[in-house]
Structure 1
């Protein structure tokens, strides 16, 4: 999710990388002199790392909190970041739904160029998950305890909603997660490269840099990964600024987790929708729910081209809209 006049950082083809098995770091223990060092037992692979104790935020995090509070207040003063899901003022037809789905599901928003992710809409095949999604959340040390509890609850509720909409099994877990949500303040993001490498080995330098050097106008980002040339997602990683106030954090949760399922692009004509850059809607809308249902309809399959899928997409859109054109 982006800021007032910017782009949302999201995975392009370079982000769909082959993932090696999850690596776990072992900590060396100090031993008394004269004794043979003990060999620590390796932690189980399916146990989440312990949550860090709350630390005092640094000056950069405090400044960022104040800045994003002003940004959110400015949005709200303009009646943006709506939570109503779209109403009579935002009508759409079956044709709108089909075209919006095509542009959001069959185009990548970002590509790698010169070692960085840059906006570039490129047609791609349909990508989605086929296995259950197991979501876990990790927080930076300076994220307050109350915010951790609120964000964890919001993500858990939203994961359940996404599962009901798509029919894809999704749940929160501390064991064997394949989608990790990192909520990090400025104090932690700059040092996040090692954790990203542990969670998703082989992540490209441009993707890592988009997190460690996240520009102020970028609020959050998500990367979904496939194995080799497959169109099936096997792992995802979401990074959200911990400095954001509540409405902006919720907007990031809604957009990035939904995009991790395969709605990868933004399309400025999509309304009502969170899949554009105008910040009108903060939370998943009625049309967004329809697009998620279409994405996981068994009539579509991972790897389909736009030409193959378009007639099916138009049929599904007409069905969801009750035959309205």
Structure 2
């Protein structure tokens, strides 16, 4: 699912999804202990050619797991029926080249879609800075103990995608299960949220304040959420990430949340209606990370770019970086037919 994000220095950002309406929203997270910071809402229209599905009624009770599963399954079915959640990663009907990659990278990596104006977040795009990881990334996935087979599958998806992100970014990124964890992915069952919070508090106490806020305030129409925390000494560097994904989702929706949230948490927090084929678009057209998005990740971690760069500083470098990223993608067997020019 598409989710935008906006970022606050020394703080945290968070994104959430409204199913069916294809909205990506961000909200302020004030006073979250040592993780306090800013965020902002984001929303963009889907392509005019696609009819928006009607949103099914929400279940009356948070703890009604069967009703929640049916609700989210209906949303997924409606999105697929209207041409969304496509599984292609390099579709012939969405060509792109260096100019499009440069444009999309600038919008996705170097801009915020919402601006804080007198304490209110307005849908007004504003320049940001390049943010990425420079410390080792240690990923853990926690899932509901009440569904062991499903939970094992979810953790397997996180582990597989962690390897993929490590390869694309060239970062020291791996799964872990100790105090080194700074990238936590939670598959949250609504009826077990309190017990889940207690488990997290015991195993990963540094995440506890943010987890408690997230579990307490996550509404039913929030599909998946990312909280990104920045180094208080350098707001261009990520320090830790918390991702919340509803365990009641059907498999494709959960996998889409894994791809989108984990990829955005690497430093591609914005969405662009022009980016295609891409997860980083509110159209929800594509369900999984595309080859276009893989190239954006390669560009983000190119050594010619540095954390803290503005769009003006990065822009002259981006065409050559895009060409080299395309070439690397082609060497790895992706990006078929793209010209390196």
Q: TM-score, normalization: structure 2?
A: 0.73
Counterpart of 1:130?
134
In structure 1, stretches of 5+ residues that fail to align are 21-56
Q: What is the CA-CA distance between 1:209 and the residue it aligns to?
A: 5.1
Matches within 5 A, 1:232-311: 232-311=237-316
Which structure is larger by alpha-carbon Rg, 1 or 2?
Answer: 1
- Whether the 8 Å CA contact 1:8–1:219 is kept in 2: the answer is no
Q: CA, structure 1 residues 217+198, in 2 after alignment: closer, same or farther (shift >3 Å)?
A: same
Distance (Å, rounded) in 2 between the aligned partners of 1:109 and 1:14:
19
- Whether the 8 Å CA contact 2:163–2:173 is kept in 1: the answer is yes
Q: CA, structure 1 residues 126+270, in 2 after alignment: closer, same or farther (shift >3 Å)?
A: same
Question: What per-residue deviation string (whole Å, max 9, x for no partner) do you get for residues 196-215 of structure 1?
Answer: 79343665xxx965653323
Task: Indicate the SS of the match to 1:270.
Answer: coil
Q: CA, structure 1 residues 177+209, in 2 after alignment: closer, same or farther (shift >3 Å)?
A: closer
- Whether the 8 Å CA contact 1:18–1:227 is kept in 2: the answer is no
Which 4+ runs in 1 deviate beyond 4 A? Answer: 9-20, 109-120, 189-197, 207-211
- Whether the 8 Å CA contact 2:131–2:308 is kept in 1: the answer is yes
Question: What per-residue deviation string (whole Å, max 9, x for no partner) do you get for residues 62-108 of structure 1?
Answer: 21111011111122223421222031111112111111111110123
- Whether the 8 Å CA contact 1:179–1:237 is kept in 2: the answer is yes
The count of aligned residue pairs is 284
User: Aligned pair 1:151/2:157, yes or no?
Assistant: no
Deviates more, 1:215-224 or 1:85-94: 215-224
Counterpart of 1:28?
none
Q: What is the CA-CA distance between 1:61 and the residue it aligns to?
A: 2.3
Q: CA, structure 1 residues 250+224, in 2 after alignment: closer, same or farther (shift >3 Å)?
A: same
RMSD: 3.2
In structure 2, stretches of 5+ residues that fail to align are 2-16, 37-60, 327-337
Counterpart of 1:5?
21
- Whether the 8 Å CA contact 1:180–1:237 is kept in 2: the answer is yes
Task: Indicate the SS of the match to 1:83.
Answer: coil
Counterpart of 2:232?
228
Deviates more, 1:182-191 or 1:290-299: 182-191
Q: What is the CA-CA distance between 1:114 and the residue it aligns to?
A: 9.7
Question: What per-residue deviation string (whole Å, max 9, x for no partner) do you get for residues 208-261 of structure 1?
Answer: 656533233321011221122511111111000111000000000000000110
Task: Indicate the SS of the match to 1:128.
Answer: coil
Task: Indicate the SS of the match to 2:187.
Answer: strand
